[in-house]
Amino acid sequence: MIKVGIIGATGYAGNELVRLLMGHKEAEIKWYGSRSYVEQKYASVYQNMFEIVEDTCLDDNIEALAEQVDVIFTATPQGYLAGVLTEEILNKVKIVDLSADFRIKDVSVYEEWYKLEHKSPQFIEEAVYGLCEINREKVKGARLVANPGCYTTCSILTAYPLVKEGLIDPNSIIIDAKSGTSGAGRGAKLPNLFCEVNENMKAYGVASHRHTPEIEEQLGYAAGQEIFVNFTPHLVPMNRGILATEYATLYRKEDGTYPTYEEVKAVYDKYYKNEKFVRVLDKDVYPETKWVEGSNYVDVNFKIDSRTGRIIMMGAIDNLVKGAAGQAVQNMNLLFGLDEAEGLKLVPMFP
């Protein structure tokens, strides 16, 4: 059995990790770390775990934890792991970090967008960006995995095949994304109160959301060049889910025409036909958050607008599963040579 420790077990992503790992045949949770609930029973924080988890929350002592487990998930705010990580810890245990501390390779970009000084930049280069469908082989040999953000997972996978194959101008990409409120975390914040969110929809982080450089960096690798995108997130009054609608200019073919539906579909199938968790939908069937809720699936599709020479790409995920905990478990499975889908064979919930 893989011995698992979770730091930040009482946040939404941490609780989702617990839920998924309870159904994992090869993993056993040894440590429920939570700075806010030390010595409280985990099931008193999340009553859904009553008579399922009997353990008490411990602190976030990563050095002690590294002596007891095989892998640590850090579902913590930005800056935590970078502030405590050492070579000694990484020599003892594998880490899957759900924060942004090691996602961005340029430390100055991280510090600019997150307004934090990076305390352990020496580990950035070796950290593997844990988007399994793109970096699977790199993840397998890693000590430190940077689990991608929720918006970024959806945004990148939706456009990646067309960027990689050069069908679209990557600098023309506009991403309009909408997320349920769980993406903002469990902390009490005025903008996330029921009366503020219910019966309302709003844009936030306009031209400044910190997932922007992460999207640009990863799609830039696919394009083979530095790119810039417009990314605008919106908050919608639902618990879970992300829907990304992305627009880009198609390149014309040598004969002056635009790619056909069949040609674009073939590109998506080239990259995703054998991917367990990416579902390319049938023609004119578009992704909806309700059809992926509670699962590790990414649903994607597209529509060509020949009138404007643009393409509309759409993707949907559950932000707490494929956008956080599910992807983290998927990375753990790769790290330990397990079936990538172990613990993640979840049928989407409906209604």
- Output b/e per residue, 292-309; b: 16+ Cβ within 10 A: bbbbbbbbbbbebeeeee
The model's confidence at residue 191, banded by pLDDT at 50, 70 and 90, is confident
Question: What's the whole-number average pLDDT of the chain?
Answer: 97
Task: Give yes or no for a cis peptide into 351 (omega within 30° of 0).
Answer: yes
The model's confidence at residue 254, banded by pLDDT at 50, 70 and 90, is very high
How distant, in Å, are the alpha carbons of 11, 165, 339 from that of 20?
A: 14, 35, 15
Quote the Cα angle for 275-96-103, to 5°: 80
How distant, in Å, are the alpha carbons of 63, 173, 306, 307, 319 from that of 252?
A: 55, 16, 11, 13, 35
Q: Which of these ranges, 79-88, 147-156, 195-204, has the smallest mean pLDDT? A: 195-204
E-strand spans in the chain?
2-7, 27-33, 71-74, 94-97, 128-129, 144-146, 174-179, 202-203, 230-235, 242-249, 278-280, 298-305, 310-317
Contact between 153 and 317 under an 8 Å Cβ cutoff? The reply is yes
The model's confidence at residue 88, banded by pLDDT at 50, 70 and 90, is very high
Residue 50: what are its φ and ψ, rounded to 5°?
Answer: -60, 130
Quote the Cα angle for 83-11-57, to 5°: 85
- pLDDT score at 228: 98
Which ranges in 24-149 belong to alpha helices (H)? Answer: 42-45, 62-66, 80-84, 87-90, 107-114, 132-140
- pLDDT score at 183: 87
- Above 80 in pLDDT, residue 273? yes
- pLDDT score at 186: 82
pLDDT in tens, 105-135: 999 999 999 999 999 999 999 999 999 999 9
The model's confidence at residue 189, banded by pLDDT at 50, 70 and 90, is confident
Q: Which are the catalytic amino acids?
A: 150
**Other CB atoms within 10 A of residue 240 CB:** 23
Residue 227: what are its φ and ψ, rounded to 5°?
Answer: -130, 165
Q: State both tokens at 37.
A: 């609930």
Q: Which residues pair with 300 in a beta bridge?
A: 280, 315
Which residue, 345, 13, 304, is CA-closest to 153? 13
- Above 90 in pLDDT, residue 304? yes
- pLDDT score at 229: 98
Q: Alpha-carbon dihedral of residues 205, 206, 207, 210, nearest 10 degrees?
A: 20
d(CA 133, CA 139): 10
- Above 90 in pLDDT, residue 208? yes
Q: Which residue has the tokens 């990304």?
A: 244
Delineate the domains of the chain, giving CATH numbers in brackets.
2-126 (3.40.50.720), 151-319 (3.30.360.10)
- pLDDT score at 267: 98
Which ranges in 188-306 belong to alpha helices (H)? Answer: 194-197, 212-223, 261-272
pLDDT in tens, 10-24: 999 999 999 999 999
Strand 242-249 versus strand 174-179 pairing type: antiparallel
- pLDDT score at 261: 98
d(CA 12, CA 83): 22
The model's confidence at residue 238, banded by pLDDT at 50, 70 and 90, is very high
